[in-house]
Amino acid sequence: MADHGHSHGENSEYYSKRAQAMQALLIEKGVCTLDDILTMADKIDSRSPEDGAKILAHAWVDPDYKKRLLANAEAAFLELGYDLPETSPKITVLENTDDVHNMAVCTLCSCFPRAIIGRPPAWYKELSYRSKVVVDPRGVLQEFGTVLDEAIQVRVIDSSADYRYLILPNRPAGTENMTEEELAKLITQESMIGVGLALSPEAVSAS
């Protein structure tokens, strides 16, 4: 796989300087204050996979909300009280179905929808995942214990500094009578990245 002409460290330094320049410009133009930026940063750092699971569980039970989420994720997040800063990278929600399975990666560094589901897991940032998933996605899935039917198309979606992706996992069978709160417990961080599936009700009951 091509290295795009940058190392991981070089990219981190570039994006760090870019963020600092954007912050300085926003303050200079009077768009916000340093306190505003720090407050929003603290809010984003407080986010966790549980927040994303609540959003996606709501999409499972409300078809109209799911349509809005897939069409305009940021607006749909706001409906549930999750506001993103204006300078935040665009987040798109992709739905996994019986025919298509999406997996998210950032091949250059570790771009991740942390404004909704918090910090990325350590393995997401490792070169072994970032390089292998684009050439052998089914092999990576198997490493996470996820085996898909050969008829299912696997798509690897590459994140960037400007675009992040959140996966809406396929709703498991046998969950028709579960509450939204119960459904949220089936949605794991791995399933929101796409390396895993949502848990079955039996798996949650056994844990």
Helix (H, G, I), strand (E, B) or coil at 206: helix
Q: Using one digit for the tens of pLDDT, what is the confidence trace for 113-126?
A: 998 999 999 999 99
Q: Which of 110, 159, 200, 207 is catalytic?
A: 110
Q: Which pLDDT value is given to residue 161? A: 84
Report the half-sphere exposure of 161 (CA within 13 A, side-chain side).
Answer: 11
Helix (H, G, I), strand (E, B) or coil at 103: strand
**Cα–Cα distance, 183 to 60 (Å, whole number):** 8
Q: Using one digit for the tens of pLDDT, what is the confidence trace for 96-148?
A: 999 999 999 999 888 999 989 999 999 999 999 999 999 999 999 999 999 99
Higher pLDDT, 16 or 21: 21
Q: Which of 7, 46, 88, 111 is catalytic?
A: 111
pTM of the model: 0.79
Cα radius of gyration (the chain): 18
Please name each of the domains of the chain with its CATH number: 8-206 (3.90.330.10)
Q: Which of 16, 32, 48, 106 is catalytic?
A: 106
Q: Which of 12, 32, 88, 109 is catalytic?
A: 109
Q: Locate the DSSP E strands across the chain.
A: 90-95, 100-105, 153-158, 163-168
Residue 42 predicted with pLDDT over 60:
no
Handedness of CA 73, 51, 23, 121 (dihedral sign): negative
Active site residue 111: yes
Residue 3 predicted with pLDDT over 90:
no
Strands 100-105 and 153-158: parallel
Start-to-end CA span in the chain (Å): 39
**Where does the pLDDT of residue 31 fall: very low under 50, low under 70, confident under 90, or very high at 90 and above?**
low
**Percentage of residues in the chain having pLDDT higher than 90:** 66
Active site residue 16: no
Q: Using one digit for the tens of pLDDT, what is the confidence trace for 54-67?
A: 999 999 999 999 99
Residue 51 predicted with pLDDT over 80:
yes
Active site residue 106: yes
- Cβ neighbours for 132, distance < 8 A, ≥ 6 positions apart: 139, 140
Q: Which pLDDT value is given to residue 203? A: 82
**Cα–Cα distance, 74 to 59 (Å, whole number):** 14
Query: Which of 125, 23, 41, 124 has the alpha carbon at shortest distance from 84?
Result: 41
**Where does the pLDDT of residue 8 fall: very low under 50, low under 70, confident under 90, or very high at 90 and above?**
very low
What is the mean predicted confidence (pLDDT) over 49-56? 97
Q: How high is the mean pLDDT of the chain?
A: 86
Active site residue 110: yes
Higher pLDDT, 93 or 13: 93
**Cα–Cα distance, 199 to 197 (Å, whole number):** 6
